[in-house]
Structure 1
Amino acid sequence: MIRLILVDDHPVVRHGIRGMLEAEPDLTVVGEASSGPEGVALAAELRPDIVLMDLRMPGGDGVEATARIVATMPGVRVMVLTTYESDRDILRAIEAGAGGYLLKDASPAELAEGVRAAARGETVLAPSVASTLVRQVRSPAPPTLSAREAEVLRLVARGLTNADIGRELFIAEATVKTHLLRAFAKLDVADRTAAVTRAMSHGLL
């Protein structure tokens, strides 16, 4: 028997999910909570196999609760069940350690099978969620510059030499070169002009 707890701030939603799951002979809901902190406490008390976790709840964030459960309760798996599928929500939940991410429009059969798969240790993702993660992997994050690297490149864009930049910022010329080389590496370029052009294209200057 797979034991679950439900964490959702809407009692009607919890009632509906409980009804769907308990119609299955191998699934049982052993507890309910209405916020992230309540879910963490209940998971610690009951040690279920699966926690079905909503993300956005007035009483406490589901992502933070997921991270706490995963970090402190080995063997308890968290599966997100939510209406939200923004890139930020998905990435935060997966990074927190969620073993699955399903949407509330899943059919009863999809939900039950997702719970069983999560209990077996598999990762369960709604198709739209999987597509988002693939897109994120294929689209590398834009480069970032430190405040000083950006400052140096802004002065390069104004036509200043390394010596001029050193005098402007009250740093050694060798330090200016160090900042430039780090910026080149982050921007994947080999010269000053390309560095300024790429930094501007990414909105870094």
Structure 2
Amino acid sequence: MVSVSGQGMEPYLAVIDLITRVADAPAHVDQRLETMSELLIEMTVSVTGLMVHGAPDGYEVRALGRGVSAAAQQRMSQELRITAGPDPFLDAFRAGDLTPTTAGRAYGGQQIWQVSAKCLGSIDIWGIDQVAGLPVRGGEQFVAFLVGRRGADYTDADLDRLRAVQPAVAGLVSMLEPHDLPPRSIRVAQLTTRELQVLRLLADGHKATAIGHRAGCSQRTVHRHLSNIYGKLDVSDRLSAVVRAQETGLLEHGPSLPRHG
């Protein structure tokens, strides 16, 4: 078998190695996806491989292959996490950009990325502070493979290696992905910036009329935002929404909801 971890690996040899490994892997979908993830980990000298599926209200993350401890798997199993506002890294894939990139570059540099909630969460869950993405399908239901490690950001050469195998990975995923996928590790519900603003006003105890006045929108729009928030947080009322947001770290813990305006 050809090794793809060397600096001088020819792109076409990497593609041949990828296809050969997947063909030789057991027929089950998750094992073949893990095989692809393992090769991407080797190519980029990474420690963790993930597969991300976009959804209308966020995305699902599946850990593939090595690099995730049993304790981490148990802690995050079927876990719901909430994030708010734009995600410069994944939002590019959602917008249809299929260019392999890194989180550091997408966020505008390491100084911004390293202090972001997403980087701190990656350290907490996966033990990594650098992430590179290989998108294979764009749009609302995007699909991307992510690799991660600690230390220096991924180089142009690393991204060139990912770009070389991108067509082959995309073709293989199109054959495998619609079938039985491994269980998701984390489901992330993504609130928009306006939804987070409405949620914060809700947590302050404001009614729909007052929220609309402060947010600069109609009461009908407020109710639409609230419906979206309840759906993404998987709750049915304002108190449960605030409690869930506090539990997931989206809002700071505080006293009971005040009653005003």
What is the TM-score of this pair, normalised by structure 2? 0.37
Tell me which structure has the larger Cα radius of gyration.
1
Higher relative contact order (CA 8 A, sep 6+): 2
More helix as a share of residues: 1
